[in-house]
Structure 1
């Protein structure tokens, strides 16, 4: 169906944009929110973290102000950006919905929802302003906002985490936690490994 919604994953190098500057700093920039008040500019709220976050923000300080600071390496900023020749503007014009977007080592990573019948035109426009490193289209059924865990898997991994099973050194071992849950250590390990596998699989499928 032409109007079918797809998930589009993009990796792009956007020259002459502040995002390419992330290659020169030890930072990662995550888009939290975008608003388009008019046809000229858009407002973007960004989470910037890394040991060079302060230097990076100083470099892009034009039209940027810090909303909150969470220690030396984590900052929430608002910035006003021109819309022309930006990927954000293309996403807006083709009525895409951003699921996630971040910038790291000079590359923009996008995951958006978009209608199937505009993907070709979207890509053509994207190629005009950036170098595309990755462009993947998948069905909406491949996306899940949460890992699929059974009730017992949830119960066991929450208990393991709260008891310090993942601390180093461990604050509790499998035998101690399984006894508290009223199950055998073998059953505990079985469900815990299944939960871990599902969480890792979900992360790898939906990381960007």
Structure 2
């Protein structure tokens, strides 16, 4: 019999690290593809923000970071590869309980995690997580409760792209719906139908997966 798992979403203020620097430099950071070595782990870090360069300069000298390689950089975007100590980190905590990190995003000093954990380990995992910082939000779901990414049709994607590129969502609008419909060679109600369905699918996925309950 397979072991049941839970999808855990939590947000935590973790002061012991470089997360606070995302607030200082108004940066959003997202980690990808973590791999483990003895006592360390490596990963790619995507960063967006008003001053990506200063953010990198600041975290480069953090005690936990053993090596930082800049793979690409503009003023407001960067791709990094980091080697990080594996002590006193949430990453090591998840690994200890044989969890899987599904996503990790940090902004405004707040770490937002989505992990898959063995249901039998949840109580101990939650107790230990409290030792790493102030938990702002915490929720558990079964995999069946997770909203999958939307699969938009070709017409929905076309309607959405034209609407965005032509200024339909700007205020005030730069183009009317009927004008976009003409460009696409379809009737106005048909354009609105495809656009609204695309918006609905994207919003449902975003609200269910990225916005904590208020």
Q: Normalising to structure 1: TM-score of the pair?
A: 0.84
Q: Find the counterpart in structure 1 of residue 7 from structure 2.
A: 7
Please give the residue correspondences for 1:154-193 in structure 2 after superposition, counting only pairs within 5 Å.
Answer: 154=157, 156-158=159-161, 160-161=163-164, 164=166, 166=168, 173-179=176-182, 183-193=186-196
Pairing 1:124–2:123 present = no
Q: Equivalent residue of 2:204, what SS?
A: helix
Counterpart residue number, 2:28: 28
RMSD of the alignment, in Å?
2.6
Measured in 2, the distance between the counterparts of 1:180 and 1:18 equals 49
Deviations 1:1-30 (A, max 9, x none): 992222110101112211133232211111
Aligned pairs (5 A) from 1:9-158: 9-38=9-38, 40-62=39-61, 63-149=66-152, 152-154=155-157, 156-158=159-161
Deviations 1:165-203 (A, max 9, x none): 547586764224434555431232133112212211211
Gaps of 5+ in 1: none
- Counterpart CA distance in 1 for 2:6 and 2:12 is 19
CA separation of 1:123/1:2 partners in 2, compared to 1, >3 Å: closer, same or farther?
Answer: farther
Deviations 1:20-78 (A, max 9, x none): 3323221111112211111x111122112212221121112133423322421211112
> SS at the partner of 2:3?
coil
The whole-number CA distance in structure 1 between the counterparts of 2:149 and 2:155 is 16
Structure 2: unaligned runs, 5 residues or longer: none
> What is the aligned length?
206
Provide the secondary structure at the position in 2 that maps to 1:186: helix
Deviation (angstroms), 1:136 = 0.5
Partners in 2 of 1:26 and 1:158 — Cα distance? 28
